[in-house]
Amino acid sequence: MKKQYEALFQSYEFKKGISLKNRIVMAPMTNFASHDDGTVSQDELEYYKRRSKGAGMVITACSYVSPSGKGFLGQFSSYTDDMVGSLRKVATTIQDEGAKAILQIYHGGRLSPAHLVPNHDVVSASVVETEQKNEDGSTLMTRALTHEEIVAIIDDFAETTRRAIEAGFDGIEIHGANRYLVQQFYSGYTNQREDAWGGSVEKRMKFPLAVVDAVVDTVKKHATKPFIVGYRFSPEEPEEAGITMKETYALVDELVKKDIDYLHVSVFDFWSLPRRGEENQTISRMEHLQNRVGADMPIIGVGSISTPEQAAKALQVVPLLAIGRELIIDPDWVQKVEKGQEDTIVTKLHSDKQQQLVVPDALWQVILNTPSWFPIEGEN
């Protein structure tokens, strides 16, 4: 490999002793390929197999921890013990190709489509609008979770962690980003409660931190070998009452005190600048966050990194880097860089290469029918 890319292929060891062969992580990406009963399909396993040879760690698509948390058609489940066998297939498939396997776990909250959850009962921290419509054309509103239901969902995160341990995963990632339930509780836009679970910043972060505590306690109780815990978050929201950088700093300050192993920052552009809550607009949000945590907690950076040059530059800011779409377009991206063949990296999706790229039908159709999501050969 070229000397300028050597840092990408340095090993990395988490504090719990799990070692990655390089600094590249496969980002979690929904693939819409699971069976209706929540078990993984062979197409899904082949998709992971094709992409697990190069990266040091693979974070799966998000798996829903509660029946009320399903967010997509073709999404795999982790909310019952019946799913352990299915989960084990995912973990083994990834690990057999040389990567560490991390199960991302989440609850969709207000983003769960009504037709995918029991009784069309879409729940969130508060009664808020969704982007869905009722039969009469009115906007579908969420139902605010009760205290008892909140406690039950926290336990669902813990139970899914136990299942991930039993299935042989190397760790889990709590999905506290992208406007799903964990983030909904922290956001002043979606959490308008006036009880112990909402109001002040401290009360709004109670649910995310309770999920972290429950997961960490489960790992201590059930894991018989090193098992890592990560937390993914979105640093800002565009709404006036939404999360600001200042509020994200407050959450991060608490997360670094917990017995977790990494933070994963979810942004579309790695180098994007802060919007609100940070006076210094000259450096990126990623740089601000890495400066905030220092050496106390490794950060996984992500966001429109497509070339090895971009990856090497980003790795000067954070110790680990996630790439997503690039591993769909070219599953051999990492190996090509390692072998000094970066000039052969494919940069646009070829619409006639689905079988060669091993992309499930549903994901392939979503990609082709979502303008500007992927660069596609032949498009301007």
Q: Show which residues are catalytic.
A: 180
Provide, for the chain, the percentages of residues in helix, strand and coil under a 3-state DSSP scheme, each rounded to the nearest 5: 40, 15, 45
Q: Which helix (H) or strand (E) is 292 found in, with range?
A: helix 285-293
Q: Which two tokens stand for residue 144?
A: 């605010």
What does the DSSP 8-state code read for residue 323?
E
- What pairing do the DSSP bridges indicate for beta strands 123-124 and 100-106? unpaired
What does the DSSP 8-state code read for residue 32?
-
Please state, as a whole number, how many other Cβ atoms lie within 10 Å of the Cβ of residue 277. 15
DSSP bridge pairs for 124: 144
Contact 325, 30 (CB under 8 A): no
Q: What burial letters (b/e) apply to 324-336, b meaning 16+ CB within 10 Å? A: bbbbbbbbbbbeb
Q: CA 91, CA 259: separation in Å to the nearest integer? A: 23
Contact 337, 8 (CB under 8 A): yes
Furthest CA-CA distance within the chain: 62
Give just the sign of the alpha carbon dihedral 271, 274, 280, 281: positive
Q: Which two tokens stand for residue 66?
A: 């509660």
